[in-house]
Chains A and B, each alone.
Chain A
């Protein structure tokens, strides 16, 4: 059973470009969460999605950031017109969130560097 997959693992972008981060949840998990982690800091909640639905996006900036989890394929976190402050590690986690199983399992993260 493959774990949570994220790609790319490292992404370098110039200011103004778009960054697209992908997350494939564990098999059987229909709930995906995205977090941002700055160096030496904690995990900041960004968005919580189920298949084809955004459940809670209260931690995601209103501008330039968007997320989706289509019926088929991975969840995608999209950052438009990146700025240097977007440089961080972005982790996704997945959970079955059913049958009393709430544990979130994390992917390896995507480290975004904006030049």
Chain B
């Protein structure tokens, strides 16, 4: 069935270092891949997304890469700051317009 795997489940980095979160998806018809950030007790908020006709997209300190052949995509956060600490979810929009989320990565940025 449709599935999105996300790794690692927990990531701890020093302030200023980079953080990388990786996801794989199963539905080859997926063509839209959003990333959400969720702070404790809050709603998930979109931070960046990528469509299948693009291999990489960057927005300031955040970048996402997509490899459609291998069916995996990654989130890169550079120069991490304590306020980047949150849970990050990758997701894939399936051919049936259903969004499947990864299990989440809890990112800790130590000052």
Binding site for B on A (CB under 8 A): 31, 33, 35, 41-45, 48, 55-56, 58, 91, 93, 97, 102-109
From B43, B45, B89, B100, contact of A45 by CB (8 A): B100
Q: Are A42 and B45 in contact (CB under 8 A)?
A: no
Q: Are B98 and A56 in contact (CB under 8 A)?
A: yes
Output the nearest chain A residue to B49 by Cβ-Cβ distance: A103
Q: What number of A-B contacts does a CB cutoff of 8 Å give?
A: 48
The proximity string for B residues 10-33 relative to A, scoring 1 for CB distances below 8 Å and 0 otherwise, is 000000000000000000000010
> Can you offer 25 A-B residue contacts whose CB atoms are under 8 A?
A33-B98, A33-B99, A35-B101, A41-B104, A42-B89, A42-B104, A43-B44, A44-B101, A45-B98, A45-B99, A45-B100, A45-B101, A48-B97, A55-B97, A56-B96, A56-B97, A56-B98, A58-B98, A91-B43, A102-B93, A102-B97, A104-B34, A104-B46, A107-B43, A109-B43
Interface of B is mostly: strand
Interface residues in B, total, Cβ within 8 A: 20
Question: Closest Cβ of chain A: how far from B43's Cβ, in Å?
Answer: 4
Q: Are B45 and A106 in contact (CB under 8 A)?
A: yes
Q: Are B103 and A42 in contact (CB under 8 A)?
A: yes
**CB neighbours of B45 from chain A (8 A):** 106
Most-contacted residue by chain B among A43, A45, A48, A58 (CB, 10 A): A43
From A31, A41, A48, A108, contact of B43 by CB (8 A): A108
**CB neighbours of B93 from chain A (8 A):** 102
From A31, A48, A58, A105, contact of B46 by CB (8 A): A105
**CB neighbours of A55 from chain B (8 A):** 97
**CB neighbours of A97 from chain B (8 A):** 97
Question: Closest Cβ of chain B: how far from A35's Cβ, in Å?
Answer: 8
Q: Are B44 and A106 in contact (CB under 8 A)?
A: yes
Bound Cα distance A106, B89 (Å): 13
Most-contacted residue by chain A among B32, B93, B98 (CB, 10 A): B98
